Structure 1
Amino acid sequence: MRLTRLLTVSALLTVSTALAQTKTVIGVSIPAADHGWTAGVVYHANEAKKAVEKMYPGAQVIVKTAKDANEQANQIQDMVTVNKINTLVILPQESAPLTAPVAAVKRQGVYTVVVDRGLTNAAAQDAYVAGDNKGFGKVSAQFLGKQLGGKGNVVVLRGIPTVVDNQRVDAFEAAMKAGYPGVRILDKKFGNWNRDDAFKVMQDYLTRFPKIDAVWAADDDMAVGVLKAIQQAGRKDIRVVLGGAGMKEMIKKVMDGSDKLITADVTYPPSMIADAIMLAAKNRTAGKALPKSTIIPSVLVTKGNASKFYFPNSPF
């Protein structure tokens, strides 16, 4: 009888240990809220944490923000050793510096889900969730080319050096060349998805180029800096400024028609981090793999559909 009881206790302890080992612990590593879009990412990540832990009582979600790539690399290793995560959802600060650290975490047995800014080596990740960056660039080029009637001078403000930025810009240039060969791209510089940096880049463009017909600022925060530079310079030659990502202030301008330079926007929602966290929770709690790639389409926002994309309570 005593032996049977001891065996039963031993069996229960074994089951309890196995359950503890298989508990889904999701580490979420994202950039700090250093501009509007990343503020939206932080907001949606924390909302997803609350939703997941309510929906899946056995799951735990740990959200951490990092100010740069070095801090993020240290952070994800700490989450493995200290927090014992078995799933990582990461939106990298930059592609190249985070590729090796994410690959190292994956080799330790952590299931890795990369969001938005793809790594330079796809083998470092188990799954990828992102907006349609190629579509973002293509839709932007098609809109501007049509607005200019197929002729004119365009300046481009890029984001930061990432796979995401390369995909957007390459698609933009390819679509413009194929559909509107009469449109000339005067220059393209990094504005770092930051309104202050974009302001300085646009000031440089305004100084160097006496005739600019349109500006593609591949992010709404940068578009804010562009508009400020144009206003201060008093330039009247620029006919259209196109940003992107769906900042509520820009969507409101499109809805109201309150700024003649802002007549459209292109979606790239920060809520994709929540989509990734929810997908990870749903699949990993069931012991399943995520789809290798999940792409969220980019949509052109105009006055006709802008109300569908306006979220006044969002930080972005």
Structure 2
Amino acid sequence: MRLLPASLHALIISGSILIGAGKGEAATPGLRFVVIPKVTHPWFEAVHGGAKAAAQMIQGQTNTPVVIDYRPPAKAEAELQAAMLQAAIRSKPTGITIDLLDATRLKPLLEQAEREGIPITVFDSEPPADLPITSIGANFCQQAQITAQRLANLLGGQGEVAIMRGVPTAPNHAIRAECHRKLFANYPGIKVVASPADNDNVETAQQLALATMQQHPQLKGWVVSDAGGGIGVGRAIQALGKQGSVQVVALDDLPELLNLIQGGVVDSTAASRPISQGYWSVLTLWQQSLGAPPIQRIDTGISVLGVTPESAGNPNRTQHPEG
């Protein structure tokens, strides 16, 4: 019998893993980790990149084929994400990591995965309170407080502001929106006049921001609860020619947002670290598959960009984006 080259043999094994997963069959020898983000989005592509880096490391250490099975929903809809999670469970992967669109709606499926012995973590999210599932991500309330404090400083504690809420049912977006409001409540001169929900879509954020600023011509500033919100708001400000008169403090560090900061349209941003989240999500699943007990949380940190940490109200954070 003719032996195949090692590289081709590994490729065939990896392919068989994917084929088996597609048919809902148990994986052939090798490791397969399913990554389910909220939606198709550039921020989640960075998460995907981190997951692939972890897979490459594990494969190098174990000489075992590793596949990242990336399954982004086309829309940020809990029902669609639930169907993807259910299919992932049927495929019997090595582990699943998911950014929850609705913790309550998806809790029964998370419990099912646990019953079936499939390691599971959540990234950029919080699990249901009574499920001991590892979460990987930033401190969402602290991230919101950084941005809201920065906006309050920029406005001198006075003026009408708006909050772009992202996906209202998503745990991290809901936490950020609530913590924005709590910080603004410390300033009697600041009034939250609108809180539209863009469902983590840049174009929707732009449309909602345009409508909000037309409805509230005295609006002085924005904070956002999702990565796409700052870009959408920034585009709307450009379209209305309100650079400088309406302030924006955003989230995360997507390239278009950094360009808006450099152009003076957006003031600054408090960025979570998607590459680290993808990397540690997969690494934690691998450790659990080997029998390691789950831990409660991995905090991947926050980077403050476009402003010094001190003036943002949080001197304990860095200014450096994730490389």
TM-score, length-normalised on structure 2? 0.77
Distance 2:243 2:56 in 1: 48
Match of 1:12 in 2: none
2:158 partner letter: K
After the TM superposition, which residues 47-66 of structure 1 pair with which residues of structure 2 at under 5 Å, given as runs? 47-58=53-64, 60-66=66-72
Match of 1:164 among 159, 172, 192: 172
Q: Distance in 2 between matches of 1:236 and 1:57?
A: 54
| Aligned match for 1:277, one of 282, 291, 302 | 282
Q: Is the 8 A contact 1:29 1:72 kept in 2?
A: no
Native 8 Å contact 1:113 1:125 kept in 2: no
Q: Which residue does the alignment assign to 1:15?
A: none
Structure 2 letter corresponding to 1:291: I
- The structure-2 alpha-carbon separation of the partners of 1:125 and 1:61, relative to structure 1 and needing over 3 Å to count, comes to farther
Q: Is the 8 A contact 2:35 2:70 kept in 1?
A: yes
Partner Cα distance (1:310, 1:88) in 2? 24
Moved more, 36-45 or 136-145: 36-45
Q: Residue 288 of structure 1 is aligned with which of 277, 288, 292?
A: 292
2:82 to 56, 73, 98: 73
1:167-316 maps to which residues of 2 (within 5 A)?
A: 167-178=175-186, 180-235=187-242, 238-254=245-261, 257-259=262-264, 261-271=265-275, 272-281=277-286, 283-284=287-288, 286-303=290-307, 308-309=320-321, 311=323
- Asked if structure 1 preserves the Cα contact closer than 8 Å seen for 2:32 and 2:94, the reply is yes
Distance 1:148 1:108 in 2: 53
2:44 aligns with one of 38, 47, 62: 38
Rounded to whole Å, the distance in 2 between the matches of 1:148 and 1:219 is 22
| Distance 1:56-1:77 versus aligned 2 partners, 3 A rule | farther
Taking a change above 3 Å as real, the CA distance of residues 156 and 78 of structure 1, as seen in their structure-2 partners, is: closer
Distance 1:184-1:107 versus aligned 2 partners, 3 A rule: same
Instruction: Tell me the secondary structure at the aligned position of residue 297 of structure 1.
Output: coil
Residue 300 of structure 1 aligns to which amino acid in structure 2?
V
Structure 2: which 5+ residue stretches go unaligned?
1-25, 310-317
TM superposition shift of 1:48 = 2.5
Q: Which residue of 1 aligns with 2:312?
A: none
Q: Do 1:25 and 1:61's aligned partners in 2 also have CA atoms closer than 8 Å?
A: yes
The whole-number CA distance in structure 2 between the counterparts of 1:65 and 1:48 is: 17
- Amino acid in the other structure paired with 1:204: A
Q: Which amino acid aligns with 2:207?
A: K
Bigger-Rg structure (1/2): 1
Paired residues in the alignment total 284
Q: CA deviation at 1:188?
A: 0.6
Aligned match of 2:129 in 113, 119, 122? 122
Higher helix share: 1
> What SS class does the counterpart of residue 223 from structure 2 fall into?
strand
Which of 148, 152, 155 aligns to 2:159? It is: 152
2:112 is the counterpart of 1:107: no
- Quote how far apart the aligned CAs of 1:268 are: 1.3
Identity %: 19
Matched, 1:133 2:137: no
* Partner of residue 8, structure 1: none
Q: Could you say what secondary structure the match of 1:215 adopts? A: strand
Partner Cα separation in structure 1 for residue 217 and residue 43 of structure 2: 32
Q: Secondary structure at the match of 1:66?
A: coil
Q: Which residue of 1 aligns with 2:34?
A: 28
- What is the CA–CA distance in structure 2 between the aligned matches of 1:200 and 1:93, rounded to whole Å? 22
Other structure's SS at 1:156 match: strand
TM-superposition CA deviations, 1:58-110 (whole Å, max 9, x none): 4744423131544443444444443x334322223443332221211112222
TM-score (ref. length: structure 1): 0.79
The one-character-per-residue Cα deviations of 1:235-274 (angstroms, maximum 9, x if unpaired) are: 46733111111213333554xx432x32311011222122
In structure 1, the gaps of 5 or more residues are 1-19, 312-316
Q: Provide the C-alpha distance between the structure 2 equivalents of 1:208 and 1:302, rounded to a whole number of angstroms.
A: 29
